[in-house]
Structure 1
């Protein structure tokens, strides 16, 4: 085949492939011109499957290609390609997610951000999200809605993340197996099988993914073992009905090394937290986190008419957790369930399209949480035993109206409720126990947005939204055994404007957003000398920021199509492959996050930078590919950030470099192979990826791995 290349002399680079893909013209030639239509990116986050360019909100999308450009041992680097989104890893697989905010409220786990797995609520009724249960290799897409999204997803001021497993986009079947090995004892094995078919206009999809990972780890007391199984499918049983089922099972066990002081970090970042004369260290106490979790959900979608449809999801989940900390040994068993139902209706009003969405969601859980004394990794005498019942729910409605002059108006709102019942059935200090009931007052979270399109290559929008984020169960019931009766919900309002589109004949995509988020009753943390994390409200904060994502092609490879159906208008249609050519991208976020009014313990921290938030983050890279060979270098930067509310201690900023290179090929259209190798933290930078904020004794630092390597191979068959 003849190859033709198109050079783009200059361009700014870009963030991630989230901008909508629109028709792209191939290079000039004496041969007939053909317009190649690439698939336009759509988002589902606000209840309607609309093109990204017609979504009046800041939305980031991480696809399977972005996940695959890094080591699949961790989600961190892939998620951090999104401006305004930071995923940290305090210990191996101990994730902490921040969307347009600090990690101040999340000493561990994911809070203040709601997560869904397909249409199933993945965030627990208690408000926490165990993101460590997910293996990157099982995911095909992550969609992140930034800022308050209460109009559709209930309580939450941070944002929403929607996860989807890998599925074949076109008819066919495939099986694939892979193996990876790397530094610090990394070993990974993955298998997957997928099938998609269309018969009589009815589509069915099934998938199965399994991933096993082991890691001896970079630091003492931080080894990992994880097994994840994801099964699911979708079946269109008639022209009107579609049913789906998804199962996720995860068995994970990883050690907890603990935080280091600055002196310990500089002396030996690979050590675990050492013991003192009054308290043993993490090695002696054998601290770890272990859980087994199963999530099962069923979805039924019925299209009554072309204008009216309903989608309802019911789910159940069960978890068993063992966690020895420095003092406590926790044994928790939890069962939960709930459902979500959404109605969509499309009609015309005054000759203009009106889309209406309404529905509700309900979650409940029961947890038996027992805390023992930790005796070197085994449970000692019982300290206290709690039974925790949680119920949360909300109703929502949304209207989207297409106005004249290419305007799209969105008006939405939700009504939210939350209730905790904590029964202390045994307590070494109070043998008779006691009960705590917390009913958070109902909250209405409205959202108004207006979008203006300028053709198919530019759209601008503005929005005002509010959010409400009540304390999670772990915040009301911290690990020191106390029950926080006074902690209040956070409430915030966000003002946002943005623009996205394409430039230079669609070879450059851009996405820009500016926002001003004002949060009241901000929840902050502090850590005691025994490692317990306590929570309190800290007045008001103001979080202003700018996010920029750019991507563009320096050159692309165009090939004559073997399939005339690609463009029946021309005798010689042209197609382009996304993995051939040279594409540059960059994502940048500027964060001016400060306490507006915050006085505690006789100290006034008003005007200080928000603890744990960096003023600048940047990720940039390139996707280069030709004839099966590919190279994906990535550069990441985070500016220095304050480690305590007083802003007297800072973590230094850092730059890191990583790259992955490999070769992919397909033989006879069936056998596929991918052989690759990569390096992370190539300059062996010493930094902390996930700090313990306001830590007692200055134990802020959780060192990230030094220079490390990995390599692997994956073989598959498709028919």
Structure 2
């Protein structure tokens, strides 16, 4: 990797942390948290069996509960994931469209929700088989840890797994207790949260419910989010574990302010597109799911089994101008679907005896199915706008995947080898019932073998180096296949999957017993990248572009400076460009153009002070370089920005009662900046303003029986 990927000025913070950690190592007092627990947590993402993250030959990071709940609001993944290098996590200030999350450039183009990344919650997919996911279904109030896998090893999770984000909820344990908390803040923010939990070595329970209200930073961006969660965990005997999990998400009438033009953003960052108010753009979601996880030990072997099922109903009112959609066109200005989804996993983890070292082989199969009863309507009736009008679309869309896989982990002296192979399939079936424009029914099956190979060498017990390689592919989503280019009224079954080859070279080091450093360089070459072909009249069609090239560097540092201070740094440098010319909407996109939605540099730093066990104060800083907004790179990029946040949390204990308070100030310097972009918006409304200086204050109590 060329040295320009790591400017010396950006390397200095990591060297400073390294030096500080070494100087404080000798003075660390007894009673400090063991370094292995803080800097080498056990993870299962990528291996399926618990392994120290330090001993894995690929990039994987964990955000644990103390960081998830320390002075945070518990609403969005954007609160906790910026500390993971390689990720770009943006709060769009638009709860109708969810967060923007990309990993090494995967998912940056998503117009809504999460695209190109595998989302899991307690092993249950939060992504559909075609690759579209919703981060809002991951409930931070119950999270024990979040594991983030990046790079070639993520291909073991099949199609649309440019990275893996997996949340694990905590088990109910300890004496029964109940709690309540409330938080208020800027722009009408209010979150109320109730919970109860407890358990012993045989069984436990966790019940959680919350309601979040906000008026939104921008006009026409108010939202209400209700979430519930219930978990029962059992230990029927010494060799088995069982968990039953229920969760729900409800958002009624969430307002959508749409994007902003550059002039509108500069004139008033709180502004809303006129079309949003004219058509009252909004979205309602009702999501419920039930899952079961079962694990049983048979000697040294382990059987893992899960099942899940759920439903999701969505109705969304768009701003497509009246009269654009004719009687013969599919679609319309109102999206209305009811989704039923279910699936399961069966996995066997078997240590192999009689071979040198320690060899473990994992075999399994994943089955996932999602069926949408999808309808589209005009967004007007007579002279009334923003209402459900005449039917313009009626179809059943079914996405199904059935993926067998095998994986082996072999520890042989100072060497560790991880290898995996998955046969990944995704079949999309469309049954069209709206025949005024012809029959768009059809099906398309995508399938590919996705291998990965990773090798690690332990130079010393505290310094490991590794190399990793893998092949993956991204299938088109239902939304990307919905319209063929031009005026053809059919599904775009001719859209091919994007295929990629990834390479990664990394180092993992523990310094002075209290600092963990991860560094990696990577390259991703992709063929048939899926890009916008045209976007007119509310109809966006997609095509396969040529080749793209992504090269980058990641650096992550965690340091326990002493008993009271700890620091975190995450830096990413990413060059993401088109690697050959292609034509988009009649315009030539030249080789060397930057992929939109991908910042060249990202930097996150955090310093936390804990003078006592019941006081925590944190200072956060975040930098993003400029971001291009469309493929020609000619329109105004979103400028670079740097913001700083401050938080503090207090806790008091009086007998069975525990009280806590938090105070948080975001964007301390009151910077005006673009927090996220809508890639390739046909109206030029690329920009979504982030809030200025914001405050939040909260308090809670807990009673232990």
Say yes or no: TM over 0.5: yes
CA-to-aligned-CA distance 1:487-540 (integer Å, 9 cap, x gap) = 11111111101111211x212221111111111111123673544433221111
TM-superposed CA distance for 1:104, in Å, is 4.2
Q: Equivalent residue of 1:271, what SS?
A: coil
Once residues 510 and 215 of structure 1 are traced to their aligned partners in structure 2, the CA distance between those partners, rounded to angstroms, is 38
- The size of the alignment, in residue pairs, is 659
How far did residue 210 of structure 1 move? 1.0
CA deviation profile, 1:328-355 (whole Å, cap 9, x unmatched)? 1111001111111111001234332110
Matched ranges for 1:163-562 at <5 A: 163-167=167-171, 171-198=174-201, 203-253=202-252, 254-274=254-274, 281-305=275-299, 307-327=300-320, 328-375=333-380, 376-404=385-413, 406-430=414-438, 433-440=439-446, 442-477=447-482, 483-503=491-511, 505-525=512-532, 528-556=535-563
> Offset of 1:394 from its aligned partner?
0.6
Distance in 2 separating the partners of 1:457 and 1:136 = 32
Aligned to 1:592: 575
Contact 2:520 2:553 in 1 (8 A): yes
Q: Distance in 1 between matches of 2:41 and 2:352?
A: 24
- Inter-CA distance 532–89: structure 2 relative to 1 (3 Å threshold): farther
Alignment match, 1:566: none
Q: C-alpha distance in 1, partners of 2:704/2:490?
A: 56
How big is the shift at 1:450? Answer: 0.6
Contact 1:150–1:156 (Cα < 8 Å) also in 2: no
Deviation at 1:255, TM superposition (A): 1.1
Q: Equivalent residue for 2:61?
A: 60
Aligned to 2:627: 641
**Match of residue 6 from structure 1:** none
- Compute the displacement of 1:13 (Å): 5.6
- Whether 1:145 aligns to 2:149 is yes
Deviation at residue 171 of structure 1 after TM alignment: 3.6
* CA displacement 1:621-649 (0-9 Å, x = unmatched): 11111132221110111000111111112
Residue 390 of structure 1: CA displacement?
Answer: 1.7
1:115 is matched with 119
Deviation at 1:225, TM superposition (A): 0.4
User: Aligned equivalents of 2:677 and 2:534: distance in 1?
Assistant: 12
TM-score, with structure 2 as normaliser: 0.89
Change (3 A) 1:336 1:671: same
CA distance 1:427–1:659, shift in 2 (3 Å): farther
> For the residues of structure 2 that align with 1:216 and 1:449, how far apart are their CA atoms?
48
Deviations 1:349-394 (A, max 9, x none): 4332110101010111221100001123321011111111221121
Equivalent pair of 1:515/1:544 in contact (CA under 8 Å): yes
Q: 2:640 aligns with which of 653, 657, 674?
A: 653
CA distance in 1, matches of 2:88, 2:154: 21
Mapped contact 1:150–1:445 kept (Cα < 8 A): no
Q: 1:678 to 1:477 in 2, by over 3 A?
A: same
Q: Per-residue deviation at 1:38?
A: 5.4
Contact between 1:149 and 1:160, CA under 8 Å: does it hold in 2? no
Gaps of 5+ in 1: 1-10, 275-280, 557-580
2:142 & 2:34 partners in 1: Cα distance?
Answer: 31
Do 1:157 and 1:466's aligned partners in 2 also have CA atoms closer than 8 Å?
Answer: no
Query: How many angstroms apart in 1 are the aligned matches of 2:304 and 2:633?
Result: 48
1:584–1:526 CA distance, 2 compared to 1 (3 A): farther
Q: Which segment is superposed worse, 532-541 or 258-267?
A: 532-541
Instruction: Please list, as runs of the form range in 1=range in 2, the aligned pairs for 1:31-50 lying within 5 A after superposition.
Output: 39=37, 40-46=40-46, 47-50=48-51
Is the CA contact (8 Å cut-off) linking 1:105 and 1:525 kept in structure 2? no
Give the 3 Å change call, closer, same or farther, for CA 87–357 of structure 1 in structure 2. same
Checking the alignment, whether the CA contact within 8 Å between 2:106 and 2:117 is kept in structure 1 is no
Measured at CA, do residues 438 and 390 of structure 1 come closer, stay the same or move farther in structure 2, by a change above 3 Å?
same
- Give the unaligned 5+ runs of structure 2: 1-10, 321-332
Cα distance in 1, alignment partners of residues 697 and 217 from structure 2? 17
The structure, 1 or 2, with the larger RCO (C-alpha pairs under 8 Å, 6+ apart) is 1
Shift of 1:286: 0.9
What do residues 578-615 of structure 1 show as CA deviations (whole Å, max 9, x unaligned)?
xxx01122110000111101310351421111111111
Aligned residue for 2:128?
A: 124
What is the DSSP-based 3-state SS (H/G/I as helix, E as strand, rest coil) of the residue aligned with 2:132?
coil
Between 155-164 and 291-300, report the one with greater CA deviation. 155-164
Structure 1 residue 33 displacement after superposition: 11
